[in-house]
Amino acid sequence: MAAFYAALAGLANCHAKSDHVVLLSPGFQLVIVRIPAPLAATIALTNPPSRRTDTPIKLAFFVNSNEAARERGGAWGGTLNAPDSL
């Protein structure tokens, strides 16, 4: 997940530990925390991964090109909203 956000939004990997990764840009910090094993065991994984649309946090990044960001996101297995859905 950290590699996806780093590639998509141009975030730099500040540091990583076994339980979290910190990604940075000049005006933003994203900390991705590993899900505890007991909780992770209850999550069904799909291939390809299913899109998580019911989360309480929606991230928005400033990018130079929405089209290029969609291509990068797709290359990492992600999906970005279509321009007409924003």
Whether 41 is in a domain gets the answer no
pLDDT digits (tens, 9 = 90+) for 42-84: 998 888 777 878 888 888 888 888 889 888 888 888 888 777 7
Q: What is the pLDDT of residues 11-45, one digit of tens each?
A: 999 999 999 999 998 888 999 999 999 999 999 88
Domain that holds residue 27: 1-34+55-79
pLDDT for 29: 94
Domain count, the chain: 1
Task: Identify whether 46 is part of a domain.
Answer: no
49 within a domain of the structure (yes/no): no
Q: Which of 80, 1, 72 is nearest to 35 (CA)?
A: 1
39 in a structural domain: no
Can you tell me which residue has the tokens 């209850």?
A: 42
- Residue 5 within a domain: yes
In a domain, 16, yes or no: yes
Question: In terms of Cα–Cα distance, which of 38, 40, 21 is closest to 30?
Answer: 21
* 3-state secondary structure (DSSP) of residue 2: helix
The closest alpha carbon to 10, from 85, 62, 57, 51, belongs to 62
